[in-house]
Structure 1
Amino acid sequence: MQRVSLLDSIFTRLVAWAIAVSIAVVLVLGWLVTTKFEQMSDATVQWNVDADIRHMSDILAARGRGELIAHIEESADIDRPAGTGSHFLLLDIDGHRLAGDLAQWPRFADEQTQAGTIILSGGRPAFARAVNFPGGMRLLAARETGWTIIQLNQIGLSFVAGGLFVVMAVGVAGYITARRLSDRVKLINAAFRDPEPRKLAALSDGQRDTDEIGELTRHSGEALQRLQRLARSQRDTTDQIAHEMRTPLMHLDNRLIRAIQAQEQARDPDAETTERLVAARGEIRQVVTTLESLLDIAHSEAQRGDPQGLAEVDVSALAENIADLYTASAEDTGHDFRLEAEAGVTMQGDEIQISRLITNLLDNAFKYVPSGGRVRLIVMRRPDGAPLIAVADDGPGVPAQFRETIFERFGRGENASSDQKGAGLGLALARAIAERHGMELRLAPTTRGARFELRPHG
């Protein structure tokens, strides 16, 4: 039975979603913060440029042109941190430079507003605005925006580092939580796969938790215990019924044996009475055999999916031992019987039950295939490594309308006659054994005869 790995666990997928959401949240927050900071920085730079222009205008109005030129020259000589410098250019009515540290008048993207981003020498970006002063003078004031870019880069790096920390924290915390939750669910699955006392005890240890998985653990433990009680009760009931029925039947069989012996030892034995006693004894033994088969079917169905009692079985060796027993019988009945088995084919199973399954299939084949027909016992590995056991013959085959009913209790094909012994339980028992081992017994399509295959589901 396939077990869910941690990578396929729903908890791992939840952690992956949590990491994805964390990354998305960090990216959105980073975008919002940087966008807002950039807007605030641009507004601050524009306000500072407008403040410089107002200050220059006040100087011109209060002190005159000469004082304005002197103030611009003094401002150009001030050493500021990189990316925060102020720059000016004052032109007269003829476009001649009067003052400032800029060599030439820049070209704006929007000539109507005479404001926008310009590129200074050395590729430094700046925001500039141009205004006209009285007397035909034109002033250009600019503030560098490089510091804003540096701050945006620092904010971006901080968000990247913080985002990585958040994602790692979510991943580690999520992994620990997913591992713990997965281990708790594994206890439940292990108890369902193999409800042995040790695993049920481990399941009861997780019943103290008060969350949803704890509640699921409690319900699972209670359900498994109820199922075990029901299974034990069913086994006890069927065993008791079998004992109560088998005992009087065996007593009756013993009485018939004594009656037959008395008839044989009588001076004037009645052949007809003896024949009837023998027939009655045969019917009693047939009833006992049918009862035992029904009990075997019930036990196999009750153990479906239960790995207890299963071990590694060498199917190849088992098939060889069974073939040795049937070879002599095949010579007596005139059948061509062959074993076609690969070496080393193994499977998890109950050796006695697998042997019972194979012998039931062989008995069924020898029963319906006429003398001179061919019967094959095949053991091989499928391409995926799983075992395949098949019994094939070239007999009359099974009509389409009986391909499934023959696996039912007391189901018999149209080729069965009243003189053929059996109650139609052999294939029903074989299928029950197959399902008990988690496998499928099916009638494979053939052009001639019948081919019964035991193989994994699917």
Structure 2
Amino acid sequence: MKRLAFIRNSIFAQIVVWAIGTAAVITFGLWLLTNATIERSNRQALERAVDVDLAGMVDIYASGDRDELAKRIKDRLALQPRNGDPAHYLLADARGKRIAGDLTDWPGLHAGISEAADIRIEGGERAFARATQLGPNLKLLVAHEYRDLSMLLRQVALVFLTGGVLAMLAVALGGWTAAHRLAGRLARINAAFRQPDDAALEELARGSAGHDEIDELAAHSGNALARLKRLAAAHRETTDHVAHEMRTPLMHLDNRLVKALAATLDAETAARVADARTEIRGIIRMLESLLDIAASEARRGDRHGLVPVDLSVLAARLGELYADSAEESGHRLILDIEPDVVIAGEEMSLTRLITNLLDNAFKFVPRGGTIRLTLRRGPVLIVSDDGPGVPEDQRDRIFEKFARGGSSLGTEGAGLGLALCRAIAERHHLEISLAPGERGACFTVAPEFRR
């Protein structure tokens, strides 16, 4: 099964198989052409032999008479060549009655037009015959048996079979060797794309010292990856610097507001300062979420840095933490977690994914509602509830940035929680979706569907 999958998924293996099949078809076609050529040559030689023999008999009759011709036919039959084509004769009158020769029945050929055709002689052997009219009451038939070519054809078939097998083996060996070399060279390019670290880029540079198309592709790929890596590093450095420069003054402003809140005695002023602090902390959280989304989207499909994470233990631990909050908020939290579900990922990011889904459920489900956290192998993570659900007109854009679901409880938040969940899921080759349902919301995180 693995070998069949390799042939199906590798273009080089498909080329080798195609080349072997082409060699087999060409060899078979040449064998058929050779057989047809041998048989056609044999028939042409037989036709010439019959015509020459018949012409000789006509000359004998022209220079002698019927008795002389009958005598010569008898001599010819008595002196049949051992290795030649056996000859048969029939000298007959106008009604086809035999006068001389070894054939007894006239085969129906029209002697007046010197008709020729394949006939069956006594014993069932196939022969080529030609008839001619010698006189008003005399006609002659000359027939030569087809030479037995079965031994020759078997030898030719054996030669082509041996040559075909050797040709296919040579094509397979040469093609497989070339394909293996090409696959190895392209594997270095793919490895550099999958994990564009310094070691992979150096390996790509070392492998592109030649001057063919693959080397040119490897060199361009290495240069492009190096430029993208530098750009990504510069982008991360810039965003981190901008985030730091924005977060620091906001934190300073928050600290000043704390001091102002402690010093003021006016209730109205204190309330406005508290509202300002809340907005500042919301801006900080929004900034951090945007940075997290950008980081996850930038590393989508990158396997570097992923380690085995026991998702069952992580989900159970988070479920226990949220169980206490559920009692305080008047919700019911049900955990249905299958053990030993492991995934290659980042534990901190996966924690953010689960907590965002649970926070979203607790925020929109009214008091007394039920929230269920389910984990199955795959992995398949499901967070469902019996709350008001997501309105139909918002289902298509619920995972977009700054999209906020409306409910009777309000729409507080920046609308980045589910966008971050999608970015984290895609980083881990997972896909998050909102399952349709009559009541509540059901968010499912499962492996990406491969088209």
Q: TM-score, normalised by structure 2?
A: 0.86
Name the structure 2 match of 1:423: 414
Q: Residue 347 of structure 1: SS of its match in structure 2?
A: strand
Name the structure 1 match of 2:444: 453
- Give the deviation of 1:320 after TM superposition: 0.5
- Give the deviation of 1:90 after TM superposition: 3.7
- The 2-side partners of 1:94 and 1:70 are apart by 21
Name the structure 2 match of 1:443: 434
Name the structure 2 match of 1:307: 303
Structure 1 runs not aligned, ≥5 long? none
1:107 matches 2:99: no
Q: Residue 403 of structure 1: SS of its match in structure 2?
A: helix
Q: Give per-residue Cα distances to partners, 1:128-163, cap 9 Å, x unaligned.
A: 223344595543322221245654554455444444
Structure 2 runs not aligned, ≥5 long? none
- Give the deviation of 1:225 after TM superposition: 2.0
- Give the direction of change, closer, same or farther, for the CA distance of 1:287–1:142 in structure 2 (3 Å limit): same
- Give the deviation of 1:214 after TM superposition: 3.1
Q: Residue 282 of structure 1: SS of its match in structure 2?
A: helix
2:315–2:337 CA contact under 8 A, matched in 1: yes
Name the structure 1 match of 2:373: 377
- The 2-side partners of 1:454 and 1:109 are apart by 87
- The 2-side partners of 1:97 and 1:274 are apart by 140
RMSD of aligned alpha carbons:
3.1
2:85–2:144 CA contact under 8 A, matched in 1: yes
Instruction: Spell out the pairing of 1:167-186 with structure 2 (5 A cutoff).
Output: 167-186=168-187
User: What is the one-letter code of the residue matched to 1:387?
Assistant: P
Name the structure 1 match of 2:277: 281
Q: Residue 308 of structure 1: SS of its match in structure 2?
A: coil
- Give the deviation of 1:352 after TM superposition: 1.2
Instruction: Spell out the pairing of 1:158-169 with structure 2 (5 A cutoff).
Output: 158-169=159-170
**Residue from 393, 396, 415 that aligns with 2:388:** 396
- Give the direction of change, closer, same or farther, for the CA distance of 1:142–1:275 in structure 2 (3 Å limit): same
User: What is the one-letter code of the residue matched to 1:410?
Assistant: F
Q: Give per-residue Cα distances to partners, 1:65-98, cap 9 Å, x unaligned.
A: 5654444333323353456222334447896756
Instruction: Spell out the pairing of 1:12-411 with structure 2 (5 A cutoff).
Output: 12-62=13-63, 68-78=69-79, 80-81=81-82, 84-91=85-92, 99-100=100-101, 102-108=102-108, 113-133=114-134, 136-148=137-149, 151-152=152-153, 154-260=155-261, 263=263, 269-381=265-377, 386-411=378-403
- Give the deviation of 1:428 after TM superposition: 1.5
1:108–1:114 CA contact under 8 A, matched in 2: no
Q: Give per-residue Cα distances to partners, 1:31-66, cap 9 Å, x unaligned.
A: 444434433322221111111122223334446556
- The 1-side partners of 2:203 and 2:123 are apart by 73
- Give the deviation of 1:446 after TM superposition: 1.4
Q: Residue 372 of structure 1: SS of its match in structure 2?
A: coil
- The 2-side partners of 1:178 and 1:110 are apart by 65
- The 1-side partners of 2:383 and 2:25 are apart by 61
- Total equivalences in the alignment: 445
Moved more, 112-121 or 428-437: 112-121
- The 2-side partners of 1:42 and 1:450 are apart by 85
Moved more, 323-332 or 115-124: 115-124
- Give the direction of change, closer, same or farther, for the CA distance of 1:60–1:186 in structure 2 (3 Å limit): same
Q: Residue 129 of structure 1: SS of its match in structure 2?
A: strand
Moved more, 157-166 or 188-197: 157-166
